[in-house]
Chain A
């Protein structure tokens, strides 16, 4: 059963009720809710994706719905979320991510904030306990954990897999020792912290640096918490890679996610290629949605050997 109470609190009452009637009562797992002004309410579940109906006609989202949802999502305090609005997304209680689209207000050529929000995309955070367990053996070489990258296009379950890897390594699951894991949770999606307490199970030996830029957070954790592993979500900015470089020199194991499709695509990205070269004997997991969200397609090592292929035999698996 999905824990969606936080989401219903943040939705206009009639929108929440409509979705509950249509999807929750049908025992579907909601993955995404999209509200667009004067267009039908869209819901994507584990079984289907559809526009909700009001009798014969589509159930139309009005300006009032968007305004009310924006106020509630921002805790009636938009001034407190200017930075998030500028980035175009906000992570709400429970780790669910809300993307905004509207009219950008520019200052000196840069986005200062968003006004007249016209579309909202609410991505429901999924916690699938145990989803990483079968892949952990591929991440070890001579009983040592390798640097690991989880790669996929958006919406394929990178963060969910990363969160469960953190949990497994923190608990010491699969007969492995327990590691001290430092997490830089820039967008609050991994641990979904509330008043300093993680809302997701990330294990007993995990320290979370919340709401902090990745590069600064990684270095801060390195100095302050002596972690065995540092986990971050969605590397992408120049500064992130500089932070990673320092981390790799410090002998801490990195587990991270990045957007991408395949090994060829990663190697075409100069920053990524440089990072892969520095990750000696690292592992790269590629995810897709082929057999549902979180399908592991391939696992490579950074020397260019394929260690696993979906449908094929696992090769070069050493513990």
Chain B
């Protein structure tokens, strides 16, 4: 009886954690998208009003952004300063693919980021601002959707976790 009790507690805890993990994953992705958006907005301002070169502005942005976004901006700045890539696109893409392993971004998010990287380095100011606006539009739209989904399904993930655990325990007992 004692062992069965411990087993039931472990099963319910495990399924509850899975529910939490589902909700947390979306929350962390949202946080990362927010940080990237903040960085890209700063980038736009620096390009529009100061014309700062990418290496210098990404270095500054990396101090003001957290998590994988800050890390990615920092790595890109260093590589650009050292001219480690043949093009800005190459440096941007390889860096985001490296931080992907540590992030909650999806394949679609990364595809949008790398598509933006293909416009870096050779455009005039107005064109560069245009490509930044397109990325900002995507980031804002994604965040809206995630927020709506979290509002709608956030509690559901937790409840599903607990209830599925209980169901499993009852069935097994």
Contact = CB atoms under 8 A, between A and B. Distances in A.
Interface of A: 9-10, 12-13, 67-68, 70-72, 74-80, 82, 113
Which 6 residue pairs are nearest across A and B when measured between Cβ atoms?
A76-B88, A77-B53, A76-B121, A79-B125, A75-B53, A80-B53
Determine chain A's interface SS by DSSP, over half rule: helix
B55 interface: yes
Given A75-B53, A76-B91, A9 B125 contact: no
Given A76-B54, A76-B91, A80-B53, A12 B86 contact: yes
A72 B122 CA distance: 10
B7 interface: no
Interface string B66-86: 000000000000001011001
Contact of B54 (A9, A13, A67, A77): A77
Determine chain B's interface SS by DSSP, over half rule: loop
Given A75-B53, A79-B47, A70 B82 contact: no
Contact of A71 (B51, B87, B125): B87
B124 interface: yes
B110 interface: no
B83 A79 contact: no
A75 B123 contact: no
A75 B124 contact: no
Contacts of A70: 122
Contact of B87 (A9, A13, A76): A76
B122 A71 contact: yes
B124 A71 contact: no
B120 interface: yes
